[in-house]
Structure 1
Amino acid sequence: MAAGVGAIDWNAPWLAPWRDAGQPLAQRVAGGEAVHQALQAAPQAAVYFVPQTELPAGTAYEQFIFDTRRVPTRDNLHDFFNGLAWLHFPQAKQRLNALQAQAIAADGVQSVRGPLRDALTVFDENGALLQAPPALWDALRARDWRRLFVDLRPLWREARLTLFGHALLEKLVSPRKPMVAHVHSAPAAIDSVAELDAWLAQAVQPQAWAAKPFAPLPVLGVPGWWPANEAPGFYDDAQVFRPARPPEGAGDNMGTHIAR
């Protein structure tokens, strides 16, 4: 784990909202503390972080958190970033957890998640919130990548992308061009992570979220986030910047865009 947290580049632009709390905790882990111990030392902790061994065999992870307010935590980067998400978005994480627990109580743990649990998991692992002018959102929803990132590039100075998903944060420790977030729109007027957290906790409504109201966004295409995207032709890679599907194609398999 010391090597893992040591590989985190806290100067990466996507980690700006996470740096003040995350970097000191990473230093504690690098010094030999278990991940759950370092997280529990954070003054803003709204849940208890405990070793993974406290999760009883046969008990659903989300149900255990809901029942006990304890988050089983392994000594790896995935759970380190999950803990940081709990520290930064406590209200939203509790809302996602409560909806997961309600679905588990109603339907049990099945081999295939239902639409709502699937959407909640996708966002929890790989989500982000984008505050942006309408023109950027129109281009993103149309997957008009050249318009989004080239023609409208100056508009990105008025936009803010805040990552939420802990799996995405983990993957971005070793950035690769194909990494894509599942993005939800947030009001432009919100100007702090705490306000985003409170808004998101209210915005997660089961019926709407079961339809996965997310847009896929290759995060390293965001202006200022990756030096390579200044080069001509960066956005011509159709394996990453995929065109919109024809209208007759039913649905959008967002799962194909999960960061790998």
Structure 2
Amino acid sequence: MADVIPANACSPFAAIDWSRPWNAPLAERGARWQSAALAGYAAYLDALNADARAAALVSGRGKPLGFIAQDDLPEGASYEAHIAQTGCVPTRHNLHDFFNGLMWFAQPRIKAALNTRQAMQIDALGIGPTRGGVRDALTLFDENAVLFACADRALADALRRFDWRTLFVTERAGWGTRCEARIFGHALLEKLVAPYKACTGHAWIVEVPDSYFSVDDTARRAMLDALVAERLLSEPLDSRAFSPLPVLGVPGWWDANASADFYDDTSVFRPGRRIR
């Protein structure tokens, strides 16, 4: 098996802090998986597959989902096509694939929709030296997306035009009542194991009703799962659909951003642009 990480306290898995606001929604399952991953590759895959059987997850083409060692991916097979056709997710013993697995449980309809679109593109165009615009956008979503749930168009517009002062300072009270951010991209979650100020996600704006902010975390996540999956399967997609979001600017996510001058750093909070 490739990429096996030693089972000890120096493992990168030991560095995951489930008290971080972006990790907290994943903490219950994540902490169990973390213990399994620290025990070794086989124990880790066993934990993922036990949960997959219990949750009855499916791939983009409706195949029962399971997790296999990366070395079990047939030579020459496409990763996304293999998942769609078999339900088997090649999984390495590393943080990147750890968070990818967690997201299959946290947002299963979105993950299946991404897998569906990827497989459709592969069926139509094959596997070439480049992915093409649609597959690039799908991969960007999978790796680095932040779901920006918003019930106030003015806040969504502020994000689109890089109006950080409005989004994070003037309208700060709107976070949690009119907008919120949820990290979806597994590569972004991996980066945030060791957070740094310039860490930036690609925000996907999701219009939600006011009632979204009066229900619990489970209901919010389910609503986003349905809304986003439907859009991914029905809308054209390219990289221009995203808005950059420096994630440590999200109120409550980083102690230093309690001070308004945190947002004066133009190397991170860059000047605005026109609304497309």
Q: Fold-level match, TM-score > 0.5? A: yes
Q: 2:55 aligns with which of 44, 60, 69?
A: 44
Of 74-83 and 238-247, the range deviating more from structure 2: 238-247
**1:127-142 map, 5 Å:** 127-132=145-150, 133-142=152-161
Residue 167 (structure 1) aligned with residue 184 (structure 2): no
Could you say which residue in structure 1 is the equivalent of 2:19? 11
Structure 1 pair 226–6 and aligned structure 2 pair: CA distance change class (3 A): same
Contact 1:36 1:74 (8 Å CA) reproduced: no
The aligned amino acid for 2:19 is N
- Equivalent pair of 1:129/1:161 in contact (CA under 8 Å): yes
Give the letter for the 1:229 counterpart: N
Letter in 1 for 2:74: P
Q: Report if the CA contact (8 A) 1:17-1:193 is conserved.
A: no
Partner of 1:21: 29
User: Over aligned residue pairs, what C-alpha RMSD do you find?
Assistant: 1.8
Q: CA deviation at 1:246?
A: 6.2
- Unpaired runs of 5+ residues, structure 1, are 252-260
| Kept in 1: contact 2:146–2:202 (CA 8 A) | yes
State whether residues 39 and 49 of structure 1, in contact with CA within 8 Å, keep that contact through their aligned partners in structure 2: yes
The question of whether the paired residues in 1 share the 8 Å contact of 2:117 and 2:233 is answered with no
Supply the AA of the counterpart residue of 1:138: D
- How far did 1:245 drift? 3.9
Distance of 2:163 and 2:274 partners within structure 1: 13
The one-letter code matched in structure 2 to 1:20 is: E
1:65–1:194 Cα change, 3 Å = same
1:224 aligns with 2:233: no
Q: 2:164 aligns with which of 136, 145, 148?
A: 145
In structure 2, C-alpha distance between the alignment counterparts of 1:38 and 1:45, rounded to whole Å: 14
One-letter code of the match for 1:76? Answer: N
After TM superposition, list the pairs within 5 Å mapping 1:108-257 onto structure 2.
Answer: 108-132=126-150, 133-158=152-177, 159-189=179-209, 190=212, 191-205=219-233, 207-210=235-238, 212-245=240-273
Task: Compute the displacement of 1:112 (Å).
Answer: 2.0
Pairs aligned (count): 248
CA distance in 2, matches of 1:173, 1:197: 24
CA–CA separation in structure 2 for the residues paired with 1:116 and 1:128 = 18
Query: Which 4+ runs in 1 deviate beyond 4 A?
Result: none
Amino acid at match of 2:190: E
Kindly report which structure 2 residues correspond to 1:67-78, keeping only aligned pairs within 5 A, or say none: 67-78=85-96
Using structure 2 for the length normalisation, give the TM-score.
Answer: 0.84
C-alpha distance in 1, partners of 2:239/2:126?
21
Aligned positions of 1:34-113 closer than 5 A:
34=42, 35-42=44-51, 43-44=54-55, 46=57, 47-113=65-131
SS in 2 for 1:192: helix
The 1:143/1:76 distance shift into structure 2, 3 A limit, reads same
Structure 2 regions of 5+ residues with no counterpart? 58-64, 213-218
Amino acid at match of 1:119: A
Matched to 1:236, the amino acid is: D
